[in-house]
A and B are shown apart, each in its own frame.
Chain A
């Protein structure tokens, strides 16, 4: 097995969690984000589609979801930035026996809101939502979604039938929106007991009814923290904005070379700013014209501008997957993305200029960015 390196973040540093098809890496820099060092690989040989940083209540915990082709998948955590990891005796994300299902992949781990510091959410394949109320010690299947009568008509996309996006409304603790490929978006307003489809205005080109109640292939959704009614959505064909918490969607693919793509990130403060990386088509999931371009809107989708400085503009047949684009919470915001060819790019100035943080990694499937807080808080579980 390869020898691990580790990072030692200080208070206020930025870490970028890089999930790849063959393990996880942790990149670290101070808040200037000019010089980076790397830790890993952790879980070499295992695909890591989901990572998360939990900084609530004085924690500085990293979650990762290594999935071994042989030995299955589970959630593991580290409180020392990767030097040591938990290894639960029992797999912590398991379908109840009565469902007859087995876990195929963990796609998303999301710490709960600040006022629910022991809550975590986990989206998996086959499409289902798990919740923990004890800081990740135990998890339970969200039965209200699992038993939804439309579930039997959800269809797997190219990546499998996965629940890949979990949006916790910052103002309404009973409201959660999830997205499934291919099932579309569902929302609960009662803390998960009941769920309804919520896809008005989102196209499904691959179905006879182009605007069905559910069944869309939503690739990624992002919600503004400062203005929660604002969301952006990257669809399997289609780029959308919502101004009503996702109840209705408007096409905002204005000036992009393609409205097909996967990744989507929203600015930590400005609800009008978002980033995407368009791909040519579902038949050729590579950057159009062999140019690696991030597109940014600063006016809520009325216009999109190509950001290319520091990115290859020749022979770049790159693919950025649904969770491989993220922004940090600093000012100016840092933006990060990874490619299927194993490169990680970063911008510390909202996309004005890019630099390559890593090359030659295994295919990158997820990127998460966080600011480390090492201040003492309430004793965390």
Chain B
């Protein structure tokens, strides 16, 4: 399976300045897929996920265009070839 992670600007210094990170591995859920990203770019994890393993309240994760908040959260299923978009919510600054 392969996944394309789209990284927001403020986190790119933690991904070697990559806008997109394409990774291969096995994942049954969005959480599994994100774990592949944490393995490749470990500093991204704590910026996106809290200590109790939840996506931070002002961060949105979209999989193939759908916010995971409305389709099962990190437990939502993920398909081979999915695009995972990490986006800061419309707040802050």
Residue tally, chain A, CB below 8 Å to B: 21
Residue A207, interface by CB 8 Å: no
Closest to B13 in A: A87
CA distance A94 to B45 in the complex (A): 13
B51 cross-chain contacts in A, Cβ below 8 A: 94-97, 101-103
Given contacts A45-B92, A97-B51, A101-B51, contact A71 B59 (CB under 8 A): yes
Residue A380, interface by CB 8 Å: no
Q: List CB contacts (< 8 Å) of B67-93 with chain A.
A: 88-89, 91-93
Given contacts A45-B92, A45-B93, A90-B42, contact A70 B10 (CB under 8 A): yes
CA distance A70 to B10 in the complex (A): 10
Q: Is the CB of A71 within 8 A of B50?
A: no
The proximity string for B residues 4-46 relative to A, scoring 1 for CB distances below 8 Å and 0 otherwise, is: 0000001101100000000000000000000000000011011
Residue A72, interface by CB 8 Å: yes
CA distance A95 to B46 in the complex (A): 12
Given contacts A87-B13, A89-B43, contact A70 B56 (CB under 8 A): yes
The 8 Å CB contact of B88, one of A70, A74, A88, A102, is A70
Residue A381, interface by CB 8 Å: no
Residue B48, interface by CB 8 Å: yes
The 8 Å CB contact of B56, one of A71, A87, A95, is A71
CA distance A96 to B13 in the complex (A): 27
Extra pairs beyond A68-B47, A97-B51 (15, CB < 8 Å): A68-B10, A68-B92, A69-B58, A71-B47, A71-B48, A71-B56, A88-B43, A89-B42, A89-B43, A94-B51, A95-B51, A97-B52, A97-B53, A102-B50, A102-B52
- The interface residues of chain A, by DSSP majority, are classed as loop
CA distance A94 to B46 in the complex (A): 9
Residue A193, interface by CB 8 Å: no
Residue A159, interface by CB 8 Å: no
A149 cross-chain contacts in B, Cβ below 8 A: none
The proximity string for A residues 193-218 relative to B, scoring 1 for CB distances below 8 Å and 0 otherwise, is: 00000000000000000000000000
Q: Is the CB of A100 within 8 A of B47?
A: no
Closest to A74 in B: B46
> What are 5 A-B contacts with C-beta separation under 8 Å?
A70-B59, A71-B48, A71-B59, A90-B42, A97-B53
A88 cross-chain contacts in B, Cβ below 8 A: 43
CA distance A95 to B45 in the complex (A): 15
The 8 Å CB contact of B92, one of A69, A91, A94, A101, is A69
The proximity string for A residues 92-131 relative to B, scoring 1 for CB distances below 8 Å and 0 otherwise, is: 0011110011110000000000000000000000000000
Closest to A91 in B: B46
